[in-house]
Amino acid sequence: MRHSLLVVIASSLSLASTATAGLLPSKPSQLADVSSGSNISCKFFAQAYAIDTVQESDGTSVTFEIPAKHVFVVTSVDFNIQGPASGHRYEAAVSRENPTTGANANITEIAGVSNGSVNATIVIPSGSVVKSGMRLCSVVDDFTDFSHPIAEIIVHGFFAADK
């Protein structure tokens, strides 16, 4: 009984990894860390900024573009809002936007009350897909004084073929 149970568990693990193997990155060059670097405004909201700079592993940076016939799968987002006043209510979001029409949809969002520092990491276990031709955007709002604090937002993910 013990041996057959181990075989069933091992077989199940093998099937699960085979099912997701087509989506997961197969080489390190598919991984990317993307942040805002150009201060380009997004179309849907003037205070939203494009997340458009890839931080390369050698310390350089390049413009973020999703190649044709590929998608970018967002796996996590780091939020670091700099200098929010203690007691202020804030929201921060990362979205995908069509740069031509301005149509957008949130990928993830955080909200809360600052204690003088706002840091959060949101993990997206199943991933959130951004198609070629779309761009990533971020916005931070302080709903206490209606300002838009400076934020460092880093989006982690990988490129995959759009099948």
Quickly name the fold that domain 27-161 has. Jelly Rolls (2.60.120)
- Parse the chain into domains and list their residue ranges: 27-161
pLDDT at residue 137 in the model:
92
Q: Are 136 and 51 in contact (CB under 8 A)?
A: yes
Q: Are 138 and 92 in contact (CB under 8 A)?
A: yes
Angle (CA) 94-99-101 rounded to 5° is 110
Rg (CA), the chain: 19
pLDDT at residue 14 in the model:
37
pLDDT at residue 22 in the model:
55
pLDDT at residue 18 in the model:
40
pLDDT tens for the chain, residues 1 to 163? 433 333 333 333 333 334 444 567 777 778 899 998 777 888 887 788 899 999 888 888 999 999 999 999 999 999 988 777 888 888 889 999 998 898 889 999 988 888 877 888 999 999 999 999 999 999 888 888 888 887 889 999 999 999 8
